[in-house]
C-alpha cells in the first residue's frame, strides 16, 4: 500500500493548499435534443451542451458552483447534484416538485451552492421523469469511467404508462456500448495505461435502476473511496455499484503489455423481473509505442470472467469490505439532547407543469 499512501498524502497536500483559494466557478448547461448514432441507428436523445455524457465539472474543496441551466428541450427538467451536501442551500438539491419546481421548456434557472468537506467522485444528473438516462455528467472528477443503460424510448414509454422504463437496448461505458454489440466496435472506449504506473479510475453507475458488476481482465482494483469519502483501502477483482453510486479505485499497470477488456453487466437478484442481461466493454490498453506510431490495431483484448447475474455472495462480500479510514469514536455518555425540526414547503408550482 506504499503507492497509495504516497498518492493520498500528495493529493491531501495539494487539496488543502488549493482550498485556501476557493473560487466561484460559473457554467452554462443547455438542455437540448441531440442526434447520436448507436447500435446501427440514429437516436434523438436529450443532452447537456450537445454532449453525451455531459460536461465534467472539476472543482476544489470550498469552491462555489454557479450553473445556469437553460431548457431548450420539450420536457420539464431539473438538475440534481448527486451526493453533494447542500449546506444551507437545500433548494439547490434538484428533484422536481420536492426542492423546486421544474424548469419549463424555454425557461432557465441558476443553481448556486458550495461544495465543502467532500473529496472524490460525485456526479450530477437530471431529476425529472426519466431524463437522467442521458442527461448526466461527473462532478469533481477527471479521467472518468461511468456505466449506464441506454434506451431512447425509455422517457416516452415511462411517461405514457407510468411504469418502470423499458429494458434497455444496451449498457455503455462512457457512452459507448463496446465490442459485444452490433455496430459498436469502432467507437469502443479506450483507456490507456503505461507499464509500471498506477492510475486512478473513478467509476460511476449512471444507470436508471440497475446495479452493475464491473471488472478489468487480469487486474486487481484497490478501492480507496466511495461517494466522495475516503475508505480504508482494500483490494478486489470486481466492483458492484448500485444506481447512483461512485467508487474510486487504483489500478496498476503490472501486466505484460497487452489489451484487456473492462466489462460491466447487471446484478439482478429479483425473481421473474425482466432486465438487460448483456455486457458492455471498454478496453484497458497498454501503450504500444511501435503500434501507436503505425496506428495499427492491437491484439484481441482479454475478457474478464464476470460474476453470474444473481451472484449475491459476491455482492455481499464486496459490500462488507468497506471500512472507514479511522476508528469512529462513539460517545457512550449522553450529556446533550438535540431537537430537530423539519419544514414542509407548500408553495404551489405554476399551473400546467
DSSP letters for 249-300:
EEEE--S-S-EEEEEEEE---STT------EEEEEEEE--HHHHHHT---PP
Pairing of strands 198-205, 144-150: parallel
Which residues are bridge partners to 14 per DSSP?
A: none
CA angle 17, 23, 29 (to 5 degrees): 130
Residues 6 or more apart whose CB falls under 8 angstroms from that of 245 comprise: 204, 205, 226, 227
Q: What is the CATH number of domain 25-141?
A: 2.60.40.420
Residues 6 or more apart whose CB falls under 8 angstroms from that of 182 comprise: 39, 40
Q: What is the pLDDT of residues 170-187, one digit of tens each?
A: 898 998 999 999 888 888
Task: Give the residue-averaged pLDDT of 311-325.
Answer: 96
Dist CA 296 CA 301 (whole Å): 14
Domain 147-323 is in which class?
mainly beta
Q: What is the pLDDT of residues 85-135, one digit of tens each?
A: 998 898 899 888 888 899 999 999 999 999 988 888 999 999 988 898 899
Which of 220, 215, 249, 217 is CA-nearest to residue 233?
Answer: 249
Delimit the CATH 2.60.40.420 region(s) of the chain: 25-141, 147-323
Which residues are bridge partners to 100 per DSSP?
A: 96
Residue 6, phi then psi, degrees to nearest 5: -65, -45
Amino acid at each position: 500500500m506504499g503507492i497509495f499512501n504516497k498518492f493520498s498524502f500528495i493529493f491531501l497536500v495539494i487539496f488543502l493548499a488549493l482550498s485556501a483559494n476557493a473560487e466561484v466557478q460559473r457554467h452554462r448547461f443547455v438542455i437540448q435534443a441531440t442526434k447520436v448514432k448507436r447500435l446501427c441507428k440514429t437516436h434523438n436523445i436529450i443532452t447537456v451542451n450537445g454532449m453525451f455524457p455531459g460536461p465534467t465539472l472539476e472543482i476544489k474543496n470550498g469552491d462555489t458552483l454557479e450553473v445556469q441551466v437553460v431548457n431548450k428541450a420539450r420536457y420539464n427538467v431539473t438538475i440534481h447534484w448527486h451526493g453533494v451536501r447542500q449546506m444551507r442551500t437545500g433548494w439547490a438539491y434538484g428533484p422536481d416538485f420536492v426542492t423546486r419546481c421544474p424548469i419549463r421548456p424555454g425557461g432557465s434557472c441558476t443553481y448556486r451552492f458550495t461544495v465543502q468537506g467532500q473529496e472524490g467522485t460525485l456526479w450530477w444528473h437530471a431529476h425529472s421523469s426519466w431524463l437522467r438516462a442521458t442527461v448526466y455528467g461527473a462532478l469533481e472528477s477527471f479521467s472518468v469511467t461511468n456505466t449506464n443503460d441506454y434506451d431512447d424510448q425509455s422517457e416516452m414509454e415511462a411517461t405514457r404508462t407510468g411504469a418502470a422504463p423499458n429494458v434497455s437496448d444496451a449498457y455503455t461505458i462512457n457512452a459507448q456500448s463496446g465490442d459485444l454489440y452490433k455496430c459498436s466496435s469502432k467507437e469502443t472506449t479506450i483507456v490507456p495505461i503505461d507499464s509500471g504506473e498506477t492510475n486512478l479510475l473513478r467509476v460511476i453507475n449512471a444507470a436508471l435502476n440497475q446495479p452493475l458488476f464491473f471488472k478489468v481482465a487480469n487486474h486487481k482494483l484497490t478501492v480507496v473511496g466511495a461517494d466522495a469519502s475516503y475508505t480504508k483501502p482494500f483490494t478486489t477483482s470486481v466492483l458492484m455499484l448500485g444506481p447512483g453510486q461512485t467508487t474510486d479505485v487504483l489500478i496498476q499497470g503490472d501486466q505484460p503489455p497487452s489489451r484487456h477488456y473492462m466489462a460491466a453487466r447487471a446484478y439482478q437478484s429479483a425473481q421473474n423481473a425482466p432486465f438487460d442481461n448483456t455486457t458492455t466493454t471498454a478496453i484497458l490498453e497498454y501503450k504500444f509505442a511501435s503500434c501507436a506510431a503505425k496506428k495499427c490495431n492491437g491484439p484481441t483484448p482479454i475478457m474478464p470472467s464476470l460474476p453470474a447475474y444473481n451472484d449475491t455472495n459476491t455482492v455481499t462480500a464486496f459490500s462488507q469490505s468497506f471500512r472507514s479510514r479511522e476508528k469512529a469514536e462513539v460517545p457512550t455518555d449522553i450529556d446533550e439532547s438535540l431537537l430537530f425540526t423539519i419544514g414542509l414547503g407548500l408553495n404551489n408550482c405554476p399551473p400546467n407543469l
